[in-house]
């Protein structure tokens, strides 16, 4: 954790004021950027507003599906995205995300290309009112907790409440228990994650941004679901994110856990 909590509530304006922070930059570049003004007055740059307005963005080639990473500060949202994007994991000092940004990734599902626009949000409470604005036109949400942090797990219910309030009813939701590599420090059992996911009827998996476990699978499962929906082939009898995740995770043996 950093001392971010003691900073002024005004960092989102950094996106406008700082020419080095461009929308669409890798979000880990948006961390720790102070700003002189209040974020309550923050107006996203025109480029961001345009992206938020369109329900489904069409670029010259194909549809771009908006996917947002959500969850408490420190659960590993940025790490998960960076691992998926670059294959790298940056261990060590944690610096909380300041601002919001996205990374475009193209994945292949059944021989066709699916474009994901993956938004990384700041998990800290003080940014919540700003990030709500981004839920509205999201097609998929990856909601993370940290298996070594019970509070981040307990807060999932509140996150799901916010999602119900601000996101579209048909948004695809994947609950993710991250840091599954932390065997001895694990507090939240896999079964607890599964139970919560069943209760809210959302897909679930555990990941590790450190080891890479299930990182690609998380995004692939989302991409597959979104592609099927877009093509009109979505038939709940034929494809379920959760069944797909279950089948794929059974192919990869789970590393030993302490609980
Ligand atoms: N062991 C382990 N550490 C992780 C994993 N994922 C992230 N971390 C560490 O957890 C800390 C927080 O990770 P971040 O990716 O910055 O968390 P975040 O959810 O983006 O946090 P905010 O930006 O504040 O919302 C960092 O020190 C990471 O190195 C993981 O899978 N395993």
Summarize pLDDT for 185-207 with one digit per residue, the tens: 999 999 999 999 999 999 999 99
Task: Look up tokens 């690609």; give the residue.
Answer: 216
At residue 126, the pLDDT reads 80
List the beta bridge partners of residue 173: 141
pLDDT bin (cut points 50, 70, 90) of residue 243 is confident
At residue 68, the pLDDT reads 96
In CATH, the number for domain 10-251 is: 3.40.50.300
Nearest CA residue ID for atom 7, ligand 1: 76
Q: Where are the domains of the chain?
A: 10-251
List the beta bridge partners of residue 233: none
Mutate which of 70, 79, 145, 209 for ligand 1? The one with the most ligand atoms within 8 Å of its CB, which is 79
The yes-or-no verdict on residue 39 having pLDDT over 50 is: no
**Cα 131 to ligand 1 centre (Å):** 19
**Cα 56 to ligand 1 centre (Å):** 30
The yes-or-no verdict on residue 67 having pLDDT over 70 is: yes
Sign of the dihedral defined by the CA atoms of residues 34, 35, 39, 42, in that order: negative
CB-ligand 1 contact for 211 (6 Å cutoff): no
At residue 119, the pLDDT reads 94
Mean pLDDT over the full length of the chain: 77
Nearest to 27 by CA among 116, 117, 101: 101
List the beta bridge partners of residue 97: 31
Angle at 82 between CA 80 and CA 85, to 5 degrees: 110
Nearest to 179 by CA among 153, 154, 155, 141: 153
pLDDT bin (cut points 50, 70, 90) of residue 253 is low
Nearest ligand 1 atom to alpha carbon 182: 1
What is the pTM assigned to this prediction?
Answer: 0.77
**Residue 92 tokens, joined:** 């060590």
Q: What is the ipTM of this complex?
A: 0.99
Nearest CA residue ID for atom 8, ligand 1: 76
At residue 199, the pLDDT reads 96
At residue 99, the pLDDT reads 72
Residue 158, phi then psi, degrees to nearest 5: -65, -40
Q: Of 105-109, 210-214, 248-252, where does mean pLDDT reach its minimum?
A: 248-252
């Amino acid at each position: 954790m950093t001392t971010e909590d003691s900073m002024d509530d005004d960092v989102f304006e950094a996106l406008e004021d700082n020419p080095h922070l461009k929308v669409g930059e890798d979000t880990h570049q948006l961390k720790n950027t102070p700003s002189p003004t209040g974020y309550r007055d923050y107006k996203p740059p025109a480029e961001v507003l345009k992206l938020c307005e369109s329900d489904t963005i069409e670029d010259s080639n194909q549809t771009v599906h908006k996917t947002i990473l959500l969850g408490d500060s420190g659960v590993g949202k940025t790490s998960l995205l960076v691992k998926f994007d670059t294959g790298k994991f940056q261990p060590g000092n944690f610096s909380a995300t300041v601002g919001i940004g996205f990374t475009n990734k193209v994945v292949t599902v059944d021989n066709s290309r699916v474009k994901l626009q993956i938004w990384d949000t700041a998990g800290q409470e003080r940014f919540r009112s700003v990030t709500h604005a981004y839920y509205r036109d999201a097609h998929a949400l990856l909601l993370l907790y940290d298996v070594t942090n019970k509070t981040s797990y307990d807060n999932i219910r509140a996150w799901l409440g916010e999602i119900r309030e601000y996101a579209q009813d048909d948004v695809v939701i994947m609950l993710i228990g991250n840091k599954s590599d932390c065997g001895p420090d694990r507090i939240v059992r896999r079964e607890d994650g599964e139970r919560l996911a069943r209760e809210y009827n959302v897909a679930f998996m555990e990941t590790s941004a450190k080891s890479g476990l299930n990182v690609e699978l998380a995004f692939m499962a989302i991409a597959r679901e979104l592609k099927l929906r877009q093509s009109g082939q979505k038939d709940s009898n034929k494809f379920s994110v959760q069944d797909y995740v279950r089948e794929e995770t059974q192919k990869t043996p789970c590393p030993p856990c302490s609980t």
